[in-house]
Amino acid sequence: MEPGASQAVTEGIRVEVRSRYSPEHSDPISDLWFFLYTITITNEGDEPVQLRNRHWVITDATGKVEEVHGPGVVGAQPQLAPGESFEYTSGCPLPTPFGTMRGTYDMRRPDGRQFDAAIAEFTLREPGAIH
């Protein structure tokens, strides 16, 4: 798998991530490195599902951890029928040129069953950053 990418499958829900450094949003002189990540969520199972909430664990190069919880993704709580996908791009500022992200999506079935779909850890790295 390419650097800055990850994928995981939980109960038929595949979460694929691709990240990249965004120099146009970064200001290293002010200790700001900005990264974009594109996530594709695919329902490979045989039951519908809805993404309700997100939980991120973001770790910078100094080991500082920030947790982010919130409803949905990019203002949406997508519902995915079997075979459907949802893709979005978001961003993450870091005070260091290297870090990692991982997390979970709180998913719900139509009958109310809940499960956490894993977002496998992926790296955020400025090209040329040494870690």
Measured distance CA(115)–CA(32) in Å, rounded: 35
Helix (H) or strand (E) holding 103: strand 98-108
In this structure, which topology does domain 5-125 adopt according to CATH?
A: Immunoglobulin-like (2.60.40)
What is the pLDDT, as a whole number, of residue 128?
Answer: 76
pLDDT by 10s per residue, the chain, length 131: 677 999 999 999 999 999 999 999 999 999 999 999 999 999 999 999 999 999 999 999 999 999 999 999 999 999 999 999 999 999 999 999 999 999 999 999 999 999 999 999 999 999 876 65
The whole-angstrom separation of Cα 39 and Cα 62 is 25
Both tokens of 80, joined, read 């995915």
Q: Decide if 41 contacts 13 (C-beta within 8 A).
A: yes
Give the Cα separation of 56 and 91 in Å (integer).
Answer: 12
Which phi and psi angles does 92 have, rounded to 5°? -145, 120
